[in-house]
Structure 1
Amino acid sequence: MRTCAESLSEYGLRALGREFGATLLPKGADISLCDQIVLIGSGMIWNLYFAVLAVALGFGLATAVALAKASPIRALRAPANAFIFVFRGSPLFIQFFFAYEAFQQLPRVTGTLDLGLVELSVSTSWLTRAWLGALIVLFLNTSAYTAEIFYGALRSVPRGDLEAADAYGLSGWARFRRIVWPTMLRLAWPSYTNEAIFLFHATTLVFFSGFPAWQQSGDALYYASYFAQQTFNPFVAYPIIAAYFILATLGIIALYGAINRRLNRHLPREARPKLRYRPQFIR
């Protein structure tokens, strides 16, 4: 039986691939509690990877889509409304399967890039890997939900703030950057925090999607399911993954709470809105 130090050495980065740890996973009677804690924690690297990149990239796209939806120009407003409707109107689980099948239908090589001295082939096979294909789905999904949140905040910017900006001679980009943008973020931040938490929890759906784990480089739920099958005892592995997610959720709440206090630092302490986590049971 391995010690906890040996488990950490062999499986600490195992989720990144076989070259980062033991070639084979522990089986049967060789599985210890430390093995389960370490390997499931290793799988959390992928959940954090999906969540951090999807939220970070989605923040920028969501802002652009929200501005497009609020635009008086129909050519901008219509695509933004369609994008939000499609990704908010269909289940995330179905989006994973649809994207995987669509990526599978793409030819392995879509073309070549002639650089003069060398000619590069542009391959699309990497789109069927979870590290990119699933990330694209999560990125688009959270962008749509966040765009709707930001749009609602844009519509809620107090008219008095806009009139004050006009009185100071602010217009165009300066008005947006100094008045509209910070006010929008301040109003949207509590709801945006809940979206970030939900997106993090939704990364577990990658395990059930069509995107396969490559060389056993799976997420936390992949290893929790593996241990439940090997030990015939789901009451150890699944509580471990639940504990990891609870700790990560507390970290998200603390981080977003600090940003919320920063956004509202100009308000009196008693008037500053406090973050409240409201879990979404149906999406």
Structure 2
Amino acid sequence: MTCLETFQTYALRSLGIGERLLPKADITVCEQVVLIGSGLIWNIYFAALALFAGFFLATALAVAKNSRLWIIRKPAEWFIFVFRGSPLFIQFFLAYEAFVLLPKAGIDFNLFGIDFTATTRWLTRAWLGATIVLFLNTSAYAGEIFYGALRNVPKGDLEAADAYGLTGWHRFRRIVWPTMLRLAWPGYTNEAIFLFHATTLVFFSGFPAWRQMGDALYYAKYFADKTFNPFVPYPIVAGYFVLMSLTIITVFGLINRRLNRHLPQASRQKIRLRLNLIR
């Protein structure tokens, strides 16, 4: 089988399209590259969905934590503290236990308006259950980033808004929110990169892959077990993640340039890659 035929056969296998049987003998590097790249689609899905939804929740958390009313501020503070203070892998484990064991034990509960019962088995699948955990985790981290930026909005900008008669929602939308994003964007970019890297933990969590169509690490482990050579599939995974990190830096850099378009060139803060070795 040529490399082109391999691509046509396995490129979309992780989505259930193409050949179902995985190669078991005479495994080539091309097959490993194509199938690991196919699994990467799920990593991109986890990160993109969690990041998109988490952006809005993070903004709400930052505003709530900055509120003067304790009944609004305290829940936001505790939410951020719990999800930033506990390991992400433990959050995966606890969420899976909550989604599976509690309903089986006859303990039904409600979270964010969703009733969790023994019939909600779809919450135990990685495509949704793991995404919910990543969404909550990145919301907490991004919320703290946005809160720090919100606290550092220049007073001159707020005074200018008052001078123009901007109050309430108009003041927040036109002055506070854009400035907050401009200040927080470099840190938020690093959070987006880490979130994408954190999607590899889904493979080790209790959330099963749907019909064994897993992520990049799922296929990497398969090839490492079949070939007894981990020094080919795992570097391929690392290479894919490096390329995706560069893509995130490029896209977020363009957004950062848009946010800072009104500033002189020398005053614009550039985005730099700062990896978090420990979280």
TM exceeds 0.5? Answer: yes
Q: Give the gaps of 5 or more residues in structure 1.
A: 112-120
| Superposed displacement of residue 106, structure 1 | 4.3
CA deviation after TM superposition for structure 1 residue 267, in Å: 0.5
The partner residue of 1:186 within 182, 185, 192 is: 182
Which of 39, 48, 54 is residue 44 of structure 2 equivalent to? Answer: 48
| TM-score normalised by structure 1 residue count | 0.93
Shift of 1:277: 1.0
User: Match of 1:25?
Assistant: 22
Match of 1:277 in 2: 273
Any idea what the Cα deviations from partners look like across 1:235-272, whole Å, max 9, x if unmatched?
A: 11011111111111100000000000000000011111
Report the equivalent of 1:100: 96
Amino acid at match of 1:8: F
Candidates 220, 227, 230, aligned match of 2:223: 227
Provide runs of 4+ in structure 1 moved above 6 Å.
108-111
Shift of 1:122: 9.2
Q: Contact 2:100–2:118 (CA<8 Å) still a contact in 1?
A: no
**243-252 vs 210-219, greater mean Cα deviation:** 210-219
In 2, Cα distance between equivalents of 1:274 and 1:49: 27
Amino acid at match of 1:185: L
Whole-angstrom distance in 1 between the partners of 2:173 and 2:90: 37
1:35 aligned partner: 31
Specify the alignment match of 2:127 in structure 1. 131
The size of the alignment, in residue pairs, is 270
Contact in 2 for aligned 1:165/1:171 (Cα 8 Å): yes
Aligned to 1:62: 58
Q: CA RMSD in A?
A: 1.5
Does residue 206 of structure 1 match 2:202? yes
Displacement of 1:173 after TM fit? 0.7
Mapped partners of 1:32, 1:282: distance in 2 = 35
Task: Give the Å deviation of 1:213.
Answer: 1.6
Which residue matches 1:72?
A: 68
- Tell me if the contact between 1:106 and 1:124 (Cα under 8 Å) persists in the aligned partners: no
Name the counterpart of 1:248: 244
Give the gaps of 5 or more residues in structure 2. Answer: 110-116
> Is the 2:61–2:143 contact (alpha carbons within 8 Å) kept by the matching residues of 1?
yes
Taking the aligned partners of 2:239 and 2:41, their CA distance within structure 1 comes to: 15
Q: Secondary structure at the match of 1:123?
A: coil
CA distance in 2, matches of 1:160, 1:23: 61
Deviation at 1:21, TM superposition (A): 1.7
The alignment status of 1:266 with 2:262, answered yes or no, reads: yes
Amino acid at match of 2:201: L
Q: Is the CA contact 1:138–1:199 (under 8 Å) kept in the aligned structure 2?
A: yes
The percentage of counterpart residues that share the same residue type is 71
Match runs of 1:168-187 below 5 Å: 168-187=164-183
